[in-house]
Amino acid sequence: MIGTMIEGYASLSAAAHFAASAKQVKFYDLDVPFMWNLQGKNLADIGLEIGRGELLLTEEDGIGISAY
């Protein structure tokens, strides 16, 4: 199982990418993004796209956050 508490964008994105890539992870508790106010946020800064009850990984390398 992998879960989060009150995480920032980078650590949540890293947890989501790890969970998606590791077949040993059977359960996810990654609900903190549903508490964020994402008005005006760029997806490249977050590393995730938040859908209706789901997290979608971006196509960026690594943890999904663009390097500047």
pLDDT score at 24 = 93
Longest dimension (CA), the chain: 35
29-38 residue pLDDT tens? 888 777 777 7
pLDDT score at 68 = 55
50-62 residue pLDDT tens? 777 778 887 778 8
**Alpha-carbon span 14 to 19, nearest angstrom:** 9
10-46 residue pLDDT tens? 888 888 888 888 999 999 888 877 777 777 777 677 8
pLDDT score at 55 = 80
Cβ 47 vs Cβ 9: under 8 Å: yes
Checking 32-41 for CB contacts under 8 A at 24+ apart, the result is: 32/4, 32/5, 32/6, 32/7
pTM, two decimal places: 0.75
Cβ 65 vs Cβ 10: under 8 Å: yes
Estimate to the nearest angstrom the gap between the alpha carbon of 41 and the chain centroid: 14
